[in-house]
Structure 1
Amino acid sequence: MAVDMDLTVLSDNEIWTDAEQLVCCAVVPEAPNTATFSFTSPSGRLFRYEPGQFLTLELPIAGNTIWKTYTISSSPSRPMTISVTVKAQKDSIGTRWMLDHLQPGMKIKATGPAGIFTLPRKEKKKYLFISAGSGITPSLSMTTYLYDRGTDVDISFVHCAHRPQEIIARQRLEQMASRVPTIKLSFIVNEDDPYLVWTGLRGRLNQLMIGLIAGDYLERDVYCCGPEPFMDAVREMLIGLGYDMANYHQESFAAPVKKEEQLPEHDDVVPDEGASASVKFARSEVTAECHETHTVLAVARGAGIVIPSGCTFGVCGTCKVRKTSGEVHMVHNGGISEEDIDSGYILACCSKPIGAVEIDV
């Protein structure tokens, strides 16, 4: 393990500030169109930051300067260098320039570190890190930091990638997990790599996977980073599972924030245990009063209405019914298609009425 240096005892002139350029000291390929760039300070100053924070790099593109923000993927427990791990998309400009042109020995201007997506000052003991794509970088920094500190922490690390070869820093994470039994890794992929065996999970992250991977998720602080639709889906899953969202934290790598007042407000629908609702079963001519936290299936059973069901987890699709009016909060696990949802169908087992709802049953 690396030594966890106490940088608070150093004077300000021993700590790097963004008034000094960075020198690229290493470029390590991580996956297709993905690499980790490590930097040192020319003066030998050390780096002080919080795991999960970001840097903004000034990149010279075609005679102009563009500014790109990247989460720091290294750990402050290893203060000699600072690193960012970048992944180029089809429309990338700055990241593409870095992959094609930035080499060891080159100097670059950076501002920061900044950001509030960090571990709490009063360290918690149980974490659930959830990420997708290059959103793995803050989880990587946090995990390395906790590993280096040697504290008694329990990390469930969940990462989603398109293919196994696109899992960033996989070997580094596996090395840490092999030495610390309380770091549990779970990788989920959409497709296998050709001619290579994959024995992990496949498909899209869902509520069932969360329960299987971290059955005690209600006891963990959740840190999530990835594309916006991915994080929206994770929030929906956790809300549907009854998770206390006060313990949920997320960072958008498209728009990281520096201050709490810049945090976006999420338009999440959260069923309220104290809010009244009702379900009208139109064909049966029965209306049942309930609360927003009750599922349509549970309300139907309580009213003596039979809706065929199987898994009760939104997987099998047996309880699919058509909603003719009203709104529900539905978090399914693959048992219904987007076409059916657009046509007004819901799964009764994982749909909760928001106000008055009418079902064609």
Structure 2
Amino acid sequence: MVDLVDVVQTLTTPHPLDRYLELIRPTLTARRMRAEVTHVRRSTPGSVTLTLRPTRQWRGHAAGQYVQIGVVIDGIRHLRCYSPVNPESRRDRHIQLTVKAHTGGLVSEHLYRHAAPGLVVDLEPAAGTFRLPAARPDRILLISGGSGITPVLSMLRTLADEGYREPVTFLHYAKSPVLVPHRAELDAIAQAHPNIRIELRYPGRRAADDLEPVTIRSCTEVSGGGYFDYDELERVAPWFADAQTFVCGPNALMDAVRKVFEAEQLADRLHTEEFTLTTVPVDDSDVHGAVSFTASGVRAANSGASLLDQAEAAGLQPEYGCRMGICFSCTAVRRSGCTRDLRTGETGSDPDQPIQLCVSAPVGDVEIDI
């Protein structure tokens, strides 16, 4: 049976059916998924929490996964990836995103300053392998730092909602108590679930540095002191060797956790999610030649940076999302030349191959179809 939507699409050529439906209502779509912002909360300095109501195509997310949203700014659609903070089994099908406004972050700063109820964004299905397993482990350790709290918080809220009864420790690092999102909910979870231990750390901070009184009563807060190490791990989760551990945060925290788990030969029990790109050093001998953006007729000297950075420096505006090789939004075809994967150092030179601009750098002369 021929898809009725396909039939209608042929009648609406040259534009897709959704182009006409959105003129009636932005969230009225046949195929493309969208979401409308229903609530906006700015309770934490420098971040905003958005509640989104997705269209009927939404199938939910697993705790820890991310979604890609498209935000139109000055007539241009920009894609970004954010991890929902709500439990995976939310019955009203809404999505909660807590977005940290990063300096120079076009979309994050726009949402922090201008997001309001009624805003409609494009939405892609949830994705990512950083997630709680369907069969919950017997013990769970959650570690996060800064804005890396978002996927881990979804895991914590999911376990609390499910009535999970095994030991859970949530260890979070932040600069100050006022910068911890959803602090009141963390307190409520700790009070309601004796098996869940919540530990908040503020390295290098003094009590006098707080902008407001600390109100958390059921979470353990420690100011000053050092960062993550083996002794801290033993204090908060002495059973960690028998647990599954999930960590997301800045590179320094991620590296410290990996170092401990590798030393203890527990790397197979550690699950990580990066939100910044870790790259291998670039060999100066690779930085030569020029990059030709064939579809635009632009040519520029190879600076050694990622192809995404070089395209932007040349005045082009290729589509991108995560800028770290996760979402594949910036994929383009390498027509000729050699490129290096910035994450692994591996090179490739097969012609007419799709590559990710954000994690690829040219080695000598390269032609990219942008």
**TM-score of the pair, normalised by structure 2:** 0.61
Q: Secondary structure at the match of 2:125?
A: strand
Tell me if 1:239 matches 2:251.
no
Report the Cα distance in structure 2 between the residues aligned to 1:64 and 1:166, rounded to whole angstroms.
31
The answer for the alignment partner of 1:52 in structure 2 is: 64
Q: Is the 8 A contact 2:176 2:210 kept in 1?
A: no
The answer for the alignment partner of 1:180 in structure 2 is: 193
**Could you list the per-position Cα deviations for residues 53-83 of structure 1 after superposition, in whole angstroms to 9, with x for gaps in the alignment?**
1111111122212111001111122132111
Q: Secondary structure at the match of 1:178?
A: helix
Q: Cα gap change, 1:29/1:220 in structure 2, threshold over 3 Å: closer, same or farther? A: same
Identity value in percent: 25
Q: Secondary structure at the match of 2:90?
A: coil
Q: 1:146 aligns with which of 121, 145, 159?
A: 159
Q: Cα gap change, 1:245/1:36 in structure 2, threshold over 3 Å: closer, same or farther? A: same
Q: Secondary structure at the match of 1:113?
A: coil
Q: Cα gap change, 1:155/1:243 in structure 2, threshold over 3 Å: closer, same or farther? A: farther
The answer for the alignment partner of 1:165 in structure 2 is: 178
Q: Is the 8 A contact 2:48 2:111 kept in 1?
A: no
Q: Secondary structure at the match of 2:134?
A: coil
Q: Secondary structure at the match of 2:105?
A: coil
Q: Is the 8 A contact 2:59 2:125 kept in 1?
A: no
Tell me if 1:214 matches 2:237.
yes
The answer for the alignment partner of 2:35 in structure 1 is: 22
Report the CA distance between 1:216 and its aligned residue.
Answer: 1.3
Report the CA distance between 1:159 and its aligned residue.
Answer: 0.2
Report the Cα distance in structure 2 between the residues aligned to 1:226 and 1:256, rounded to whole angstroms.
17
Report the Cα distance in structure 1 between the residues aligned to 2:212 and 2:40, rounded to whole angstroms.
26
Report the CA distance between 1:138 and its aligned residue.
Answer: 1.0
The answer for the alignment partner of 1:200 in structure 2 is: 221
Q: Cα gap change, 1:194/1:49 in structure 2, threshold over 3 Å: closer, same or farther? A: closer
The answer for the alignment partner of 2:146 in structure 1 is: 133
Report the Cα distance in structure 1 between the residues aligned to 2:139 and 2:273, rounded to whole angstroms.
19
The answer for the alignment partner of 1:84 in structure 2 is: 97
**Could you list the per-position Cα deviations for residues 17-59 of structure 1 after superposition, in whole angstroms to 9, with x for gaps in the alignment?**
972310101112241111211111355x764221111111111
Q: Secondary structure at the match of 2:181?
A: coil
Q: Cα gap change, 1:197/1:84 in structure 2, threshold over 3 Å: closer, same or farther? A: closer
Q: Cα gap change, 1:265/1:155 in structure 2, threshold over 3 Å: closer, same or farther? A: farther
Q: Is the 8 A contact 1:159 1:186 kept in 2?
A: yes
**Could you list the per-position Cα deviations for residues 130-187 of structure 1 after superposition, in whole angstroms to 9, with x for gaps in the alignment?**
0001101111101111111113232100000011111121111111111010110000
Q: Is the 8 A contact 1:22 1:39 kept in 2?
A: yes
Report the CA distance between 1:110 and its aligned residue.
Answer: 1.2
Q: 2:116 aligns with which of 85, 103, 117?
A: 103
Q: Cα gap change, 1:94/1:136 in structure 2, threshold over 3 Å: closer, same or farther? A: same
Q: 1:228 aligns with which of 242, 251, 261?
A: 251
Q: Cα gap change, 1:17/1:56 in structure 2, threshold over 3 Å: closer, same or farther? A: farther
Q: Secondary structure at the match of 2:228?
A: coil
Q: Cα gap change, 1:177/1:74 in structure 2, threshold over 3 Å: closer, same or farther? A: same
Q: Secondary structure at the match of 1:147?
A: helix
Q: Is the 8 A contact 1:21 1:108 kept in 2?
A: yes
Q: Cα gap change, 1:143/1:94 in structure 2, threshold over 3 Å: closer, same or farther? A: same
Q: Cα gap change, 1:256/1:138 in structure 2, threshold over 3 Å: closer, same or farther? A: farther
Runs of 4+ in structure 1 deviating by more than 3 angstroms, as ranges, are 192-199, 254-259
Report the CA distance between 1:197 and its aligned residue.
Answer: 6.2
TM alignment of 1:282-361, pairs within 5 A: none
C-alpha root-mean-square deviation of aligned residues, in Å?
Answer: 2.6
Q: Cα gap change, 1:158/1:256 in structure 2, threshold over 3 Å: closer, same or farther? A: farther
Letter in 1 for 2:180: I
Q: Secondary structure at the match of 1:237?
A: helix
Tell me if 1:37 matches 2:59.
no
Letter in 1 for 2:221: G
Report the Cα distance in structure 1 between the residues aligned to 2:211 and 2:150, rounded to whole angstroms.
28
Letter in 2 for 1:200: E
Look at both structures and tell me which one has the larger radius of gyration over its CA atoms.
1
Q: Secondary structure at the match of 2:124?
A: strand
Gaps of at least 5 residues in structure 2 are: 1-28, 215-219, 277-323, 329-340, 346-370
The answer for the alignment partner of 1:338 in structure 2 is: none
Q: Is the 8 A contact 1:47 1:82 kept in 2?
A: no
Q: Cα gap change, 1:248/1:138 in structure 2, threshold over 3 Å: closer, same or farther? A: same
Report the Cα distance in structure 2 between the residues aligned to 1:99 and 1:120, rounded to whole angstroms.
32
Report the Cα distance in structure 2 between the residues aligned to 1:136 and 1:103, rounded to whole angstroms.
23
Q: Cα gap change, 1:42/1:118 in structure 2, threshold over 3 Å: closer, same or farther? A: closer
Letter in 1 for 2:61: Y
Q: Cα gap change, 1:35/1:195 in structure 2, threshold over 3 Å: closer, same or farther? A: closer
Tell me if 1:252 matches 2:268.
no
Q: Cα gap change, 1:52/1:107 in structure 2, threshold over 3 Å: closer, same or farther? A: same
Q: Is the 8 A contact 1:18 1:110 kept in 2?
A: no
